[in-house]
Structure 1
């Protein structure tokens, strides 16, 4: 279909008849809907990615609004595409910082309108054969792009349309009259510019954004709830409590507020770094008041042991000569900061010595890799927990803009130092760093490196490029670290290069840029490093995170860490890379295209069910819940997709045996039943089998009528084909070939005379209480998983399915071997197509190169098997599909595995169906039939762009 035909269809649908088939160019009414993760920003990014050039005319621009588009502008620059932006000085809204930031974008020409009252908001995009434009209320600010209630309309038109001609003519007139943006112009503007007064929110407070009234500090929302929980915990008789709270959310103030409500006679606050002591003491003084003599420090340089409120380093308090100066009951209340370190001997020694009325531990990262159980130390009393995503939602942290950018050449984990730290790479890094910038253009950055030598050498190279820098490693003393941090805060230097030492336990609120020049070692370390800049401070409006992504094996951890999804499900990780709308509020996540492809490659290549990782996940959860975790526990705590851990071996029981954690034994026959259920039922794709098995756990026989009533009670389809399909699944009649052989003996039911019976083996197995417990757990987990799927339809849009899952859910009586299905199969009014987009240069799955493709979000081009002609049975169906439902499934490549995304139902476009000859691998030609299909549900734009891999 030509673009002019698409435009006509779009206009007809948008302005005459909404019921007709539209096109990718349909008009769109755009409103920010944060609850649906649907934003004007998404539309703007998509239009930028697909355009040949663009012109924006917007009155107001902010640095954060610009940040949301910078990686997209960078990708356009790589393709040689340029754009223009016309803005203004209206109301003094645009500050000099944003004008300097605009100058850093090489493929963006900027001019300043001289028109009084310039208040336009328009975005014009030129595509191959049509124009699109957005006109509405949104300026180029992050609030307008994501948060504010704004109205915008997206329209498309041909080049010769009157509206677009008028817009372009007017824009050109304004452009000619406008003044080019230059450094000289900004310098002049800067002299006259008067910053607008900012309206600060006082409803949510952090340690550096605190409201005082009559010398009283009011807790923020998180702190109020935590204080209530701590009070209830103590009233229940508990003597210990644990606070899990993201860095920057006000843990120290929370501790002080809790001390204020407890009113202990003596308090001990333990930290692991001396430089934290004085800041903690100052925070407590602001909350508790009283004379200075009430507050004392125990450290290498101070021993104020008689103080009412004592702040001590662990190094000092754990020394025998200091510890023994206190009685065991000397302190009513003991607090430990960064308590995940409490597994060290020094901490355990102190904790064993003192017997306070209440012990409080605080940490952002309770998960450990050293086998120490923090939860056990605090009697499993989690008083409050708030992680990164929740803290962002509650506005407790500074907004951040994460940029996943492409590293210099082909940096890997094993790259030699001479390639990591040389003049060329330093220049490349600085160019990228300057491009992505920071709040108010005054960098105060931490740069995390992979090794000490790299940090030292890059520091030297940055200084040679007039980027004032210092480096710190574990070899530097506390005094040296404090001196360098002070230099950064005072503006004497801009960058601190470091390895490891700033991952945690350091408070530099002024940090406005975090630069990552290392492989992501773990999600925990990633969040720790990102979190160094998230503390709010009046000196910054946001934090810039610049992650240089090389060809690292661990790149898959990046979307895992950013999204907080640690289920180790590859499909989730892919989605969290191409669709980053999970980030809340005015924060954003953007990847350059090449960096994104490197993440996809890592996801495809990684083995997410390696025993070491699963063992660590298992132990962490066991530590948290104080018992052996089962499949439902993994789901409820969101730590791993239970299907991954249950199918690592034959069943989850086998995994428990390997961990030496099984709490009973089962027979090989019973284990085979669990294997079948784990592989076929645990994903929760259909509820029917699960409901039937739950019923049979309580009764050895039920009637088909009872089963039908159970389904009706659940609002599920209870027709005869679906019921029969569920019965054939559980009796194994559905399965053929290797599946039938593998599952033989695992039949769970038999049925006849309108009655459903437990199989003899199932009946025997249920006498084993441990087996019964395991199957109950598995069915419970599967029912929870089922919430991810539609219940009114057999298949759920954009979910992934194996070929045999599709046939089962569509009520095929019998499984077909995958090889026999190939690209499609059809039967009883159902035509199922399986399509692989990227087959590779040496595709061995067919005799010829099939060029199946997604034309646009609504149209798919597909080729039949060969040899086929216009008279072949399947082609006749496509020509006359009235009595057939056609289902389309697609996967990007074989690297993604054997399952396919469900695209929905499709309709063949009759006029596109024709026979042609294509060359085969042996040099001959064979006949195939080409056809275009129209998707009933146009593809989600982000998903569409992921599948086709726009470059």
Structure 2
């Protein structure tokens, strides 16, 4: 029994066939994480094999190979007409493998790597179709050396509104010192700087507290910045009586497979990992993502943040971002189609990644658009004078988003950020609250005057 595609998936398939029929040799399909691209891959493979062709499917991880094989079997595809392997295996077997009539590459943002290039060069006359949620390289390098056409699927917000992706609430209780993060030659943050920014032991206790407060009882995937940190988080959850496990790329294969089976069966509630469960990892029942891995990579951010958004009726995902990634890239539902291109991008020179035009609600600490006058989360109303005194970053627009779609709950870790103005004993304490929340000194003066805390002669 073959899959019944959703209309937007059928549209992607038809546009791809049309593109190849009109002379393009290599087409890149862009569709958001969790939008069911494996089903689209299977449909294209089924059509090719039914016409007598041979499909070569390649990807960089063994888990993804096993996953697509199950999808092909479920779609009644004859595997005798398919080569399904990792790029590492294909590169050593090209002389012995059947020549394909179509090459399908998953996670095609990796396609500029030398291994992929050698395979493409070995089959110069074979049509190619690639899939990715994020056609983006940190180097700014484009994909014109691999693909000559690009087809972009629907935006994340449309998929949410039409019940193809789960909606979510995004919390950003940032627990690290982002000023300590430094980039490496590859563009992402160095391991040393991440260690430096996330070195406080208290952080892990806060992770547990936020999980209990916001999502207790639900399964969660934790993305840590190092193996040591991932293990520490797993042990912390277990010490609190919550079943947890750690896995990374060096975990023995048999042990890793056992952990994945137990997690999918619900025997493990918290799965901690280091950049392992990002691309193509399919756990439909998991709706909680805990981010402890700061990144300067849009690709990695999207893959990890959206990993809990696969649709199920009644599902509402929770994303808890402890490392400020949302302030670098914006929320998952942010429109991005106009950013995707096959061509090189000009790298912008800037110190850090500027954030959105925002301010913090003094009552619930939700981060809201700068123009907000009433907090949609708690109902707090800004007074005119108070609004004028807020420290607001107006350097970047995240796209035309309704305020209700943009909200990010930001529960500050600092002692003073959590205090109400009426709890302050004097003007000095009001200044500490203002500093913790990022307000200008004028806010503290305004509050002190209203509370009668200003000294008078």
Shared fold (TM-score, shorter chain, > 0.5): yes
**Contact in 1 for aligned 2:136/2:298 (Cα 8 Å):** no
Counterpart of 2:104 in structure 1 is: 335
1:315 to 81, 88, 91: 88
Secondary structure of the corresponding residue to residue 521 of structure 1: coil
Counterpart of 1:255 in structure 2 is: 41
For 2:199 and 2:3, the matched residues in 1 are separated by 48
Counterpart of 1:532 in structure 2 is: 307
Q: Post-superposition shift, 1:287?
A: 2.4
For 2:247 and 2:366, the matched residues in 1 are separated by 28
Q: Post-superposition shift, 1:402?
A: 1.7
For 1:336 and 1:571, the matched residues in 2 are separated by 34
Counterpart of 2:161 in structure 1 is: 393
**Contact in 2 for aligned 1:337/1:361 (Cα 8 Å):** yes
**CA RMSD in angstroms, aligned pairs only:** 4.1
Counterpart of 2:210 in structure 1 is: 432
Q: Post-superposition shift, 1:410?
A: 10
For 1:450 and 1:572, the matched residues in 2 are separated by 22
1:573 equivalent to 2:348? Answer no
For 2:209 and 2:392, the matched residues in 1 are separated by 37
1:265 equivalent to 2:30? Answer no
For 1:395 and 1:356, the matched residues in 2 are separated by 40
Secondary structure of the corresponding residue to residue 282 of structure 2: coil
For 1:861 and 1:339, the matched residues in 2 are separated by 51
Render the CA deviation track for 1:403-431: whole Å, top value 9, x for unaligned.
22353999975686898464x54443222
For 1:258 and 1:457, the matched residues in 2 are separated by 43
Counterpart of 1:771 in structure 2 is: none
**Contact in 1 for aligned 2:8/2:153 (Cα 8 Å):** no
**Contact in 1 for aligned 2:360/2:366 (Cα 8 Å):** no
Render the CA deviation track for 1:605-652: whole Å, top value 9, x for unaligned.
xxxxxxxxxxxxxxxxxxxxxxxxxxxxxxxxxxxxxxxxxxxxxxxx
Trace 1:527-926 onto structure 2 (pairs within 5 A): 527-537=302-312, 541-549=315-323, 556-559=327-330, 563-564=334-335, 573-575=356-358, 593-594=364-365, 596=367, 892-893=390-391
Q: Structure 1's 524 and 265: CA in aligned 2 closer, same or farther, altered over 3 A?
A: closer
Counterpart of 2:223 in structure 1 is: 448
1:517 equivalent to 2:292? Answer yes
Q: Post-superposition shift, 1:499?
A: 2.0
**Contact in 2 for aligned 1:444/1:489 (Cα 8 Å):** no
Q: How many residues align?
A: 368
**Contact in 2 for aligned 1:248/1:531 (Cα 8 Å):** yes
Render the CA deviation track for 1:184-217: whole Å, top value 9, x for unaligned.
xxxxxxxxxxxxxxxxxxxxxxxxxxxxxxx342
Counterpart of 1:284 in structure 2 is: 72
Q: Post-superposition shift, 1:251?
A: 1.0
1:485 equivalent to 2:256? Answer no
For 2:392 and 2:4, the matched residues in 1 are separated by 56
Q: Structure 1's 894 and 336: CA in aligned 2 closer, same or farther, altered over 3 A?
A: closer
**Contact in 2 for aligned 1:244/1:387 (Cα 8 Å):** no
Q: Post-superposition shift, 1:548?
A: 2.2
Secondary structure of the corresponding residue to residue 356 of structure 2: helix
Render the CA deviation track for 1:450-469: whole Å, top value 9, x for unaligned.
22221122222222221221
Q: Structure 1's 860 and 427: CA in aligned 2 closer, same or farther, altered over 3 A?
A: closer
Q: Post-superposition shift, 1:564?
A: 4.0
Secondary structure of the corresponding residue to residue 285 of structure 2: coil
User: Which structure is higher in strand share?
Assistant: 1
Counterpart of 1:900 in structure 2 is: none
Q: Post-superposition shift, 1:471?
A: 1.5
For 1:544 and 1:432, the matched residues in 2 are separated by 11
Secondary structure of the corresponding residue to residue 243 of structure 1: strand
1:237 equivalent to 2:23? Answer yes
Secondary structure of the corresponding residue to residue 533 of structure 1: coil
More deviation, 359-368/565-574: 565-574
Counterpart of 1:225 in structure 2 is: 11
2:115 to 346, 352, 358: 346
Q: Structure 1's 391 and 430: CA in aligned 2 closer, same or farther, altered over 3 A?
A: same
For 1:261 and 1:415, the matched residues in 2 are separated by 46
Secondary structure of the corresponding residue to residue 284 of structure 1: helix
| Structure with bigger gyration radius | 1
1:407 to 169, 175, 184: 175
Render the CA deviation track for 1:273-304: whole Å, top value 9, x for unaligned.
11222321222233245xxxx31xxxxxxxxx
Q: Structure 1's 509 and 478: CA in aligned 2 closer, same or farther, altered over 3 A?
A: farther
Secondary structure of the corresponding residue to residue 255 of structure 1: helix
Q: Structure 1's 560 and 431: CA in aligned 2 closer, same or farther, altered over 3 A?
A: closer
For 1:507 and 1:861, the matched residues in 2 are separated by 49
Trace 1:291-306 onto structure 2 (pairs within 5 A): 294-295=78-79
Structure 2 length normalisation: TM-score?
Answer: 0.68
Q: Structure 1's 893 and 369: CA in aligned 2 closer, same or farther, altered over 3 A?
A: closer
Secondary structure of the corresponding residue to residue 100 of structure 2: coil
Counterpart of 1:361 in structure 2 is: 130
Render the CA deviation track for 1:491-518: whole Å, top value 9, x for unaligned.
2221122222223232222322111124
Secondary structure of the corresponding residue to residue 135 of structure 2: coil
Render the CA deviation track for 1:38-67: whole Å, top value 9, x for unaligned.
xxxxxxxxxxxxxxxxxxxxxxxxxxxxxx
For 1:284 and 1:495, the matched residues in 2 are separated by 30
2:280 to 502, 505, 508: 505
Q: Post-superposition shift, 1:474?
A: 3.1
For 2:104 and 2:91, the matched residues in 1 are separated by 15
Render the CA deviation track for 1:780-800: whole Å, top value 9, x for unaligned.
xxxxxxxxxxxxxxxxxx7xx
For 1:524 and 1:374, the matched residues in 2 are separated by 15
For 1:355 and 1:592, the matched residues in 2 are separated by 61
Greater RCO, CA 8 A, separation 6+: 2
Counterpart of 1:736 in structure 2 is: none
Q: Structure 1's 344 and 425: CA in aligned 2 closer, same or farther, altered over 3 A?
A: closer
Counterpart of 2:420 in structure 1 is: none
Render the CA deviation track for 1:780-838: whole Å, top value 9, x for unaligned.
xxxxxxxxxxxxxxxxxx7xxxxxxxxxxxxxxxxxxxxxxxxxxxxxxxxxxxxxxxx
Q: Structure 1's 592 and 268: CA in aligned 2 closer, same or farther, altered over 3 A?
A: farther
Q: Structure 1's 383 and 451: CA in aligned 2 closer, same or farther, altered over 3 A?
A: same
Counterpart of 1:157 in structure 2 is: none
1:378 equivalent to 2:147? Answer yes
**Contact in 2 for aligned 1:523/1:560 (Cα 8 Å):** no
Q: Post-superposition shift, 1:246?
A: 1.0
Secondary structure of the corresponding residue to residue 307 of structure 2: helix
**Contact in 1 for aligned 2:356/2:394 (Cα 8 Å):** no
Structure 1 length normalisation: TM-score?
Answer: 0.35
Identify unmatched segments of 5+ residues in structure 1.
1-214, 296-306, 580-590, 601-797, 799-855, 863-888, 898-946
For 2:221 and 2:152, the matched residues in 1 are separated by 30
For 1:408 and 1:234, the matched residues in 2 are separated by 48
